[in-house]
């Protein structure tokens, strides 16, 4: 068993659940009650659920790969790059905002970056 991948898969799965529950409350509900036009609103709502599915499926894949013998490096590296890109997007957007303590305002990167690191460590 690959402990790094198991940890990455568990963290990604927990991240998906946090995304679904806390994000649903703090982001999706306000979005759906906004005055945004219907088409962009529904598109953003769908993209929200795409992200949930992507994070959850990645967590399941990493957990399953943790119990398999190598070679799985290309898939794991793809998932790690995916989470690294997500974390980078949140960091760039957060740091460009004119907020006090910006890294705590959008803390999603704090869960996404460790998944990338753990997955990457699992193939090294």
**Statement: residue 67 has pLDDT above 90:** yes
Domain borders along the chain are 3-123
Tell me the percentage of the chain whose pLDDT exceeds 90.
Answer: 85
Alpha carbon distance 39, 16 (integer Å)? 25
| pTM beyond 0.85, yes or no | yes
Q: b/e string for 94-116 if b means 16 or more Cβ within 10 A?
A: beeeeeeeeeeeeebbebbbbbb
Over the stretch 80-123, which tens digit does the pLDDT of each residue have? 999 999 999 999 999 999 999 889 999 999 999 999 999 999 99
DSSP 19-60: HHHHHIIIIIHHHHTS---HHHHHHHHHHHHHHHHHHHHHHH
- In eight-state DSSP terms, residue 68 is S
């Amino acid at each position: 068993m690959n402990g790094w991948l198991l940890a990455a898969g568990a963290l990604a799965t927990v991240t998906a659940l946090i995304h679904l529950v806390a994000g649903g409350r703090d982001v999706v509900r306000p979005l759906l009650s906004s005055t945004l036009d219907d088409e962009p609103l529904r598109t953003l709502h769908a993209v929200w659920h795409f992200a949930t599915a992507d994070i959850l499926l990645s967590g399941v894949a990493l957990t399953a790969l943790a119990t398999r013998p190598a070679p799985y490096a290309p898939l794991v590296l793809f998932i790690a790059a995916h989470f690294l890109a997500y974390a980078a997007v949140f960091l760039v957007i957060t740091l460009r905002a004119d907020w006090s303590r910006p890294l705590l305002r959008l803390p999603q990167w704090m869960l996404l970056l460790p998944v990338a690191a753990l997955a990457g460590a699992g193939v090294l």
